[in-house]
């Protein structure tokens, strides 16, 4: 039955969200013949989801509270456009019972569960109490209504440290922190309350025992309005940072079939207990040390479609957004439990605009390049999927979540899926904005991840290996030199092309090492992106029958020097396969890789990407000004664009090194700046609520020794 002939006919849908999920819903809705309406804030006026929808309606300023979270504005946009239904996506209003009630009152179909189900699971403390009554195992903790500081501290002591503070109305890692000792409790509680109040308008907390090595396994459930319910198997989301998922895979590795069925059936019972309708996810903590014995604990239920739903789609072959639309129209579930099958293995990696090597600080800027070359990467289109809300040329702002895209791969088994993900990440071409792509490559190639030794503290446990900035090796330097030589040759051809006819007869215009009666010779200087090593390559072109070949065709002898000392000599050739793909041969080892000059570094950074690796080197071009990054002067400056949340000390107050001084919020996360040394804050240059740009000086700080010197002078 078509959606137009359903009990609740659908002809048009408004997507009350932005970015990747809005684009995702638009694709399926359009395939089903629905008219799509987007909404946007001023910051998203030129966003991809606005461009792709049939219509788009402005909600208001960039602040989410005045646009995407403004219920009255969203309802008005739906009525103005003549929409039949509203799809909330995930985040924003997707789990807001008041919003569902407003849709009902306006005669709009809400593509999700009823308000009563959201209310039952939206309050984490109430949900846990209800699950306890239903006999679902819970992690030991405090879920009570009393919220005074002393009581919460006392309850944490009873549970035993470490404990996990969680916003009762929360989700997505907001208002959530691990507390290792009583000494840290109050500061963590204050921070969680601020984040929860800002994100959810509710600062109630619950406390749970923090399991040190749990796996995060969640079950995808679906219920229709006719009383049927199914589970579409499970996902493992154990690899997280700051309680936000980084990698997800389906099915969960090494999960016994009996336990899979037990968890799936328990999830369906939990959903049906609250009268659930639509897509939902029941999340469990699986004790990694006892998984064979079936030790799992209910954590929460997300009453919406999850970010990681594509891995479930890959292993089941089902379109979950289509299921949502059909169920919302009053139609029965497309399949029964016995008709659902699980095929192969899928992995999803979340691509964020952030700097993992700088405490995951969010990044902003303009995407100069964005996409994936499946052909060059040797990837099959039916096994690789890139769900994104951005394209090349789009701006990445400070106002919203920093996720740019999701890269999803499918394989016949987990090993094949891992190999596909490694190649797909290598083929992903992103520049102009710092991302976590290289970090994701380190994750999926880590021996313990490959061996499925998974738990929610995986990143923390393997910090040294995942965050170490590997020094460029001689082979990387030699490859960069070949790319630089190739680029110089291309520059020469472009310069000598006059009036449509190439000119190659003027050797004095060449900058490719040409010499009279001698082989070409070049001196190329490089530096690692973090400034840790300086290199020089002396490249001498080999002769063929006494004649010098064109640089791009020649064999070059490469003498690599590090900080003035020779480290190796290699022979290399470069063959350009297309605009971005090169074949580089070093001492007989031929490797196909992607190479580009990164516009983010004013054209000086050579970026080399191959399966499992990425190298970034600053090329100090002799024909350009020196763009090498200079060591920044030590100042307490804003690490990114954001808003000042709180000032934690008074001007003139003496502080010790590491004392928290100011909190800045950006992209829904708080970042605390600490005292760089013993000393005092002379004055703050900002106030609470001020918007700051990356690099803005926030305060004047004087070290203890400087303060003492000043006192002696007086």
Contact 28, 321 (CB under 8 A): yes
Q: Three-state SS for 503? A: coil
226 class by beta-carbon count within 10 Å (0-12 exposed, 13-18 middle, 19+ buried)? exposed
Q: What are the tokens at 665?
A: 């919020």
Interacting residues of 598 by C-beta distance below 8 A, sequence separation 6+: 431, 604, 605, 606, 607, 616
Nearest residue to 208 via CA among 237, 246, 177, 242: 177
The CA–CA distances, whole Å, from 372 to 389, 390, 442, 496, 598 equal: 14, 13, 19, 32, 16
Interacting residues of 273 by C-beta distance below 8 A, sequence separation 6+: 130, 134
- Residues 155/160/166/169 CA torsion (nearest 10 deg): -40
C-beta neighbour count of 383 within 10 angstroms = 19
CA dist 440 and 595 (Å) reads 19
Q: What are the tokens at 281?
A: 């996810």
Nearest residue to 205 via CA among 217, 190, 223: 190
Give all strands (DSSP E) within 119-173, no chain letters: 141-142, 163-167
373 class by beta-carbon count within 10 Å (0-12 exposed, 13-18 middle, 19+ buried)? middle
Q: What are the tokens at 457?
A: 């503290």
Q: What are the tokens at 96?
A: 């807001």
Contact 213, 457 (CB under 8 A): yes
Q: What are the tokens at 653?
A: 């107050």
Contact 188, 177 (CB under 8 A): yes
Q: Quickly tell me which residue has 């009823």 as its tokens.
A: 114
Give the 3-state secondary structure of 691-714: EECCCCECEEEEEHHHHHHHHHHC
Q: What are the tokens at 10?
A: 């659908």
Catalytic-role residue among 24, 35, 48, 304: 304
CA dist 57 and 76 (Å) reads 10
- Regarding beta strands 497-498 and 501-502, do their DSSP bridges make them parallel or antiparallel, or are they unpaired? antiparallel
CA dist 560 and 583 (Å) reads 20
Angle between the N-to-C axes of helices 185-200 and 149-159, in degrees from 0 to 180, rounded to the nearest 10: 110
Q: What is the DSSP letter of 142?
A: E
Q: What are the tokens at 185?
A: 């409790």
In our burial notation (b when 16+ CB lie closer than 10 A, e otherwise), range 384-415 reads bbbbbbbeeebebbbbbbbbbbbbbbbbeebe
183 is catalytic: no
CA dist 327 and 8 (Å) reads 10
Is the N-terminal amide bond of 251 cis, ω within 30° of 0? yes
To the nearest 5 percent, what fractions of the chain are helix, strand and coil?
30, 30, 40
Residues recognised as catalytic? 304
């Amino acid at each position: 039955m078509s959606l137009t002939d359903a009990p609740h006919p659908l002809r048009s849908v408004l997507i009350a969200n932005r970015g990747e999920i809005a684009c995702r819903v638009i694709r399926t809705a359009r395939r089903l013949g629905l008219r799509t309406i987007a909404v946007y804030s001023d910051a998203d006026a030129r966003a991809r989801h606005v461009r792709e929808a049939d219509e788009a309606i402005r909600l208001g300023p960039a602040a989410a509270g005045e646009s995407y979270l403004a219920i009255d504005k969203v309802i008005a946009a739906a009525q103005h456009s003549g929409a039949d239904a509203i799809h909330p996506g995930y985040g924003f209003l997707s789990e807001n019972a008041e919003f569902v009630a407003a849709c009902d009152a306006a005669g709009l179909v809400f593509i999700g569960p009823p308000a009563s189900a959201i209310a039952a699971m939206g309050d984490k403390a109430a949900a846990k109490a209800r699950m306890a009554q239903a006999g679902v195992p819970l992690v030991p903790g405090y879920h009570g209504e009393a919220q005074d500081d002393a009581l919460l501290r006392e309850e944490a002591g009873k549970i035993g440290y470490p404990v996990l503070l969680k916003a009762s109305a929360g989700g997505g890692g907001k208002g959530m922190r691990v507390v290792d000792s009583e000494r840290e409790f109050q500061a963590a509680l204050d921070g969680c309350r601020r984040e929860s109040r800002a994100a959810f308008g509710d600062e109630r907390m619950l406390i749970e025992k923090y399991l040190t090595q749990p796996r995060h396994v969640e079950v995808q459930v679906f219920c229709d309005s006719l009383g049927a319910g199914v589970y579409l198997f499970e996902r493992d989301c154990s690899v997280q940072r700051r309680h936000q998922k980084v990698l997800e895979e389906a099915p969960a590795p090494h999960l016994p079939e009996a336990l899979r069925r037990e968890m799936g059936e328990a999830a369906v019972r939990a959903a049906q207990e609250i009268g659930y309708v639509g897509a939902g996810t029941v999340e469990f903590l699986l004790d990694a040390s006892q998984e064979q014995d079936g030790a799992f604990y209910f954590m929460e239920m997300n009453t919406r479609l999850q970010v990681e739903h594509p891995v479930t789609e890959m292993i089941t072959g089902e379109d979950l957004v289509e299921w949502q639309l059909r169920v919302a129209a009053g139609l029965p579930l497309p399949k029964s439990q016995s008709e659902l099958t699980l095929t192969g293995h899928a992995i999803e990696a979340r691509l964020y605009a952030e700097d993992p090597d700088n405490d995951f600080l969010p990044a902003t800027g303009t995407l100069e390049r964005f996409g994936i070359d499946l052909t060059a990467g040797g990837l099959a289109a039916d096994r690789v999927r890139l769900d994104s809300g951005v394209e090349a040329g789009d701006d990445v702002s400070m106002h919203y979540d920093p996720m740019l895209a999701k890269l999803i791969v499918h394989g016949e088994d987990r090993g094949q899926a891992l190999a596909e993900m490694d190649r797909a990440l290598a083929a992903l071409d992103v520049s102009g904005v710092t991302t976590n792509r290289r970090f994701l490559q380190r994750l999926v190639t880590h021996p313990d991840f490959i061996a499925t030794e998974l738990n929610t503290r995986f990143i923390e446990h393997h910090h040294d290996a995942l965050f170490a900035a590997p020094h460029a090796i001689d082979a990387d330097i030699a490859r960069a030199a070949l790319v630089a030589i190739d680029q110089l040759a291309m520059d020469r051809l472009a310069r000598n092309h006059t009036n449509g006819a190439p000119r190659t007869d003027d050797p004095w215009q060449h900058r490719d090492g040409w010499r009279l009666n001698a082989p070409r010779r070049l001196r190329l200087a490089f530096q690692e992106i973090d400034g840790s090593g300086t290199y020089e390559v002396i490249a001498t072109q080999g002769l063929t029958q006494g004649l010098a070949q064109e640089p791009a065709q020649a064999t070059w002898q490469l003498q690599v020097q590090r900080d003035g000392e020779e480290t190796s000599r290699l022979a290399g050739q470069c063959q350009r396969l297309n605009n971005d793909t090169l074949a580089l041969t070093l001492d007989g080892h031929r490797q196909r890789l992607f190479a580009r000059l990164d516009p983010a570094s004013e054209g000086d950074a050579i970026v080399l990407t191959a399966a499992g690796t990425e190298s970034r080197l600053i090329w100090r071009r002799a024909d350009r000004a020196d763009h090498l990054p200079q060591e920044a002067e030590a100042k307490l400056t804003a690490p990114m664009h954001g808003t000042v949340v709180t000032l934690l000390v008074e001007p003139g107050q003496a502080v010790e090194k590491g004392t928290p001084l100011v909190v800045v919020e950006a992209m829904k996360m708080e970042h605390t700046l600490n005292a760089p040394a013993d000393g005092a804050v002379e004055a703050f240059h900002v106030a609470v609520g001020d918007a700051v740009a990356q690099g803005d000086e926030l305060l004047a700080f004087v070290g203890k020794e400087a303060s003492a010197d000043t006192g002696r002078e007086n």
